[in-house]
Structure 1
């Protein structure tokens, strides 16, 4: 697979916000238990039997450390520095060897075909270019490597959830640092050129209506 390198001037950037960055670190740190309760069954399937070394996109405050095997090594692609202290403490509690890369998902600083597994959850909604991020995932995965994901996605047209997503898209994106509830991430992953993709669409029932439509699954390179 040919590696495409963007010129530095064109590379997506992440600029930490002093207020929203801290808010999101506190929000996901404090609300992690509730998000886990809603997503736990589908994450347990998607993130089952992970290898001892994993790359995670947007590792945040460490919500997915519970799915890693004992003594695992995690390379965390996490550009928000306000997440790092909570992530480090969570990794220490769970005995995970943590390495943080504060780069964006569109420019992962790892070699081609160098990792066996990449995971993400609630991340592709907020990146600048989800297709470019998934292309980077394919680039760094070894042949037969796996990309496992659990993401929230756009709802079906002409449904109350879809109307709520459209109505709240601007304040939602501002508060959650660019997060969009209107992305068809299933199509992005299915059209990325993986050898196989298995995913399930499902719905949760939370007070955050725009957040209630999801996909989870695994793509194999």
Structure 2
């Protein structure tokens, strides 16, 4: 009973607010912006998401931007707490011919068994989770030995740069609009410190009108 209570407390420590404005707005925003974001990030996604296995776990798949990289007939285990994303995600999975297993869970507590996943992916997600270090520990827990975590994320810009100034200036409205998203996280350091056996990361910059969003990393970490 004590173990059950402890697990319940750990699960409720990370809760997602089903906001009546932000949730539907973000689902609509990312559905409309998908072609633009895909064009901007395609080269990096093609490199990181090449040859994905037939079953993939994705944390925060949103409206399904990465389903196009899964093999037809494959399965996506979708860890997506925002219910407003579920309908568009199911529609996208149907179009792509991918089986979908939606789990309304936080990435910090996926509920998946230890060493059960060959591959976990994320894109533009670690910016908005409550605790990136806890999420990465969870990713390591569910990955099989030798399994891969493949990711693309936007990150904090170098100190003193115009992008960094914009990130600092817009932090509060940006975070409110995009459900806790922070442009000021040093996610490269967080991933490298997460205890993976091997980590390869590329830094790059994109050019968009969304200035706080322009500094990125992409990489593969192996359990």
1:165 to 139, 156, 167: 167
* Contact preservation (8 Å) 2:123, 2:152: yes
Q: CA RMSD in A?
A: 1.2
1:72 to 61, 71, 74: 74
Instruction: Name 2:177's counterpart in structure 1.
Output: 175
Q: Distance in 1 between matches of 2:50 and 2:158?
A: 29
Q: Does 1:148 align with 2:142?
A: no
Give how far 1:7 is off: 2.6
Query: Which ranges of structure 2 fall in alignment gaps of 5 or more residues?
Result: 1-5
Instruction: Name 1:207's counterpart in structure 2.
Output: 209
1:110 to 103, 109, 112: 112
Instruction: Name 1:194's counterpart in structure 2.
Output: 196
TM-score of the aligned structures, taking structure 1 as reference length = 0.96
Moved over 3 A (4+): none
1:166-216 per-position Cα deviation (integer Å, ceiling 9, x unaligned): 000000000001000000000111010101000100000000000000000
Aligned residue-pair number? 218
TM-score of the aligned structures, taking structure 2 as reference length = 0.96
SS in 1 for 2:111: coil
Give how far 1:11 is off: 1.9
* Contact preservation (8 Å) 1:11, 1:107: no
Give how far 1:5 is off: 5.2
SS in 2 for 1:174: helix
Query: Which ranges of structure 1 fall in alignment gaps of 5 or more residues?
Result: none
